[in-house]
């Protein structure tokens, strides 16, 4: 019985053209979704509008008539110090220690080669 509508197919099933529309996102037989050009244009317009509004708001911002008490000030300073300490420790842990380990390994290999070349037992 022909009703004029396409038959139902579960999400993710590719039709005979190789493309199916699922929830506004066009998908192909690959696992990664491909956005349609119309949705990309609307997203670009919306994001450009949001950026413009934020820039205008920042440009027109006046002086704030606010008081930051000692508790909030010390909390802000402590947060900044903790953030800097966390970033510093991350740099030391992920960058400096592996380099230090490589340098020690190379130095010990060089020492072993010098000792082997001089006839000394290692």
Query: Per the structure block, which two tokens stand in for 21?
Result: 């529309």
| Residue 98 resides in a domain | yes
Global pTM value: 0.36
pLDDT of residue 84: 97
Query: Which helix or strand (DSSP H or E) is residue 34 part of?
Result: strand 33-34
- In this structure, is residue 25 part of a structural domain? yes
Answer whether residue 98 shows pLDDT above 60.
yes
* Residue 2 falls inside a structural domain: no
The boundaries of the domain holding residue 94 are 68-113
**Tell me: the pLDDT tens digits for 28-60?**
555 555 556 666 677 777 888 888 898 998 888
Residue 96 lies in a domain: yes
Q: For residues 78 and 17, what is the distance between their CA atoms, to the nearest angstrom?
A: 59
Token pair 């317009």 is found at: 45
Domain boundary among 40, 58, 76: 58
pLDDT band at 77 (very low <50, low <70, confident <90, very high): very high
pLDDT, greater one: 17 or 86: 86
CA-to-CA distance for 33 and 29, rounded, in angstroms? 9
**Is residue 92's pLDDT more than 70?**
yes
In a domain, 120, yes or no: no
Q: Residue 1 domain-assigned?
A: no
Nearest CA among 40, 25, 4, 35 for reference residue 12: 25
């Amino acid at each position: 019985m022909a009703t004029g509508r396409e038959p139902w197919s579960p999400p993710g099933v590719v039709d005979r053209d190789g493309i199916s529309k699922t929830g506004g996102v066009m998908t192909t037989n690959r696992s990664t979704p491909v956005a349609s050009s119309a949705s990309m244009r609307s997203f670009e317009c919306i994001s450009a509008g949001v950026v413009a509004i934020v820039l205008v708001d920042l440009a027109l911002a006046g002086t704030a008539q606010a008081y930051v008490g000692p508790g909030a000030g010390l909390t802000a300073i402590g947060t900044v110090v903790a953030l800097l300490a966390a970033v510093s420790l991350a740099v030391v842990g992920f960058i400096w220690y592996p380099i230090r380990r490589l340098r020690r390994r190379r130095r010990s290999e060089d020492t072993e080669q010098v000792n082997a070349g001089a006839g000394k037992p290692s």
